[in-house]
Amino acid sequence: MDLFEYQGKRYFARFGIPVSPGGTADTVEEALAAADAAGYPVVVKAQVQVGGRGKAGGIKLAATPDEVRAHAGAILGMDIKGHRVKRLWLEHATDIEKEYYVSFTLDRGARAHLGMVSARGGVDIEQVAVDEPEAIARAHIDPSVGLTEHVARRMVEEAGLEVDARDGAIGIMLNLYRCYVEGDADLVEINPLVLATDGRVLALDAKVTLDDNAAFRHPEWDQFRDLDELDERERLARSKGLQYVGLDGDVGIIANGAGLAMSTCDVVNQVGGRPANFLDIGGGASAEVMANALDVINSDHNVKAIFINIFGGITRGEDVANGIVTALGRVDIAAPMVIRLDGTNAEAGREILRTVESDQVLSRPTMLEAARTAVELARARTAGPGDRADLAGSTS
Ligand code: GDP
Ligand code: MN
């Protein structure tokens, strides 16, 4: 998960890395309040997950409320390399003496962490790496040893940081390395790390990529999930803990296991239909999970038919069928449903499903037949009852 600058700075602050005081704003009014709180002069910064915001006009200094109003108004809604600006970060502006670069990331080839420091900060570091590779001091860090003060000092000396900035930079590097390891990041980058005219060294930008595999031990990461980026269906699915990806077809899909859910999407396509979503309910198929999945499918108004595709492995067919029957008692389905149940004790499960079968709830023994039925149902409902072939002529 990539963090926005304001989130990255909050993460940095937890590890003792100095950043400027500031706040977020989604409107011009909020920007004025955030500027007041940060203290003038301020810098108004577009929050998008892409570099080069400065060059694109997404970062402006403001000395007065009028300037904040003008810049905030211009930057909100701006398009920066395909990213629409919905949020600003305003912080107290720093008088910059020098801009540096520092980062830690994983060098998979070397099986070690890689630290980089440069006195050519603030600019495109990839370009520096090409034009002047010697301007970047690099060090591999053995994870079992960690970053020592000795190594950090050697790096800032080799990179040629101003003598006045070295102690501050070393302190920040040690904390940034902790943020990278203890904070379970794949990448932490400060560009620019600055030496201010008053002698302080601090982070003016923050790029943090968290390792999603470590999310289980960081409940606090939930605050970083930008739910605004998700559509309504995905937001609902996430709040219910379901693995869901919204698509733009009309056959709602529920399957157990990511592989089966993907195959289900493929089979629906193969028989000429279009999946409305990918939804993996995981190994089991309890009434609770099934009801949640149906709620999410119901929230998608494009869904014209529902296809439940369950392969009982460890979960037995009777349990799956009972889960579906109970869920149907709790949730009103918004579209007809086709169930394909196979695997362990499938026949016993289908026997149970027979008790709820109707023209709205159908059961088919194979995946292909079930897909065909679901796609036909969706098509018939899209065409509208008046156009249905089986009704043609019935009014004349
Ligand atoms: P990026 O262009 O997306 O990497 O955004 P940055 O946050 O790195 O900002 C770009 C540039 O804006 C920096 O390299 C600085 O030169 C300038 N800048 C950012 N914050 C301040 C500040 O507080 N004071 C001043 N004078 N310049 C700033
Ligand atoms: Mn930057």
Residue 293 has pLDDT above 80, yes or no: yes
Least confident of 114-128, 169-183, 311-325, 364-378: 311-325
The residue contributing the CA closest to ligand 1 atom 10 is 54
Identify the pLDDT of residue 384. Answer: 62
Identify the pLDDT of residue 226. Answer: 67
pLDDT band at 19 (very low <50, low <70, confident <90, very high): very high
Question: What single-letter DSSP state applies at residue 3?
Answer: P
- Give, for 338, the enclosing helix (H) or strand (E): strand 337-343
The CATH number assigned to the domain with range 230-395 reads: 3.40.50.261
Ion ligand 2 — residues with CB < 5 Å: 191, 205
Asked, colleague to colleague, whether 96-221 and 230-395 share their fold, the answer is no
The residue contributing the CA closest to ligand 1 atom 7 is 205
User: Which atom of ligand 1 sits closest to the CA of residue 95?
Assistant: 26
The residue contributing the CA closest to ligand 1 atom 9 is 54
Instruction: Report whether 247 contacts 277 (CB < 8 A).
Output: yes
Average pLDDT, the chain: 92
Per CATH, domain 96-221 is 1.10.1740.10:
no
Q: Is the CB of 93 under 6 A from ligand 1?
A: yes
Instruction: Report whether 113 contacts 106 (CB < 8 A).
Output: yes
Query: Residue 178, SS3?
Result: helix
Q: Per CATH, which fold does 21-92 belong to?
A: Dna Ligase; domain 1 (3.30.1490)
User: Which atom of ligand 1 sits closest to the CA of residue 99?
Assistant: 14
User: How many angstroms separate the alpha carbon of residue 13 from the centre of ligand 2?
Assistant: 17
| pLDDT tens column, 113-161 | 999 999 999 888 889 999 999 999 999 999 999 999 999 999 999 999 9
| Residue 358 to residue 304: CA distance in whole angstroms | 17
The amino acid sitting at 42 is V
User: How many angstroms separate the alpha carbon of residue 192 from the centre of ligand 2?
Assistant: 6
| Residue 382 to residue 388: CA distance in whole angstroms | 10
Q: Is the CB of 315 under 6 A from ligand 1?
A: no
* Domain edges within the chain: 21-92, 96-221, 230-395
> CB neighbours (10 Å) of residue 267?
23
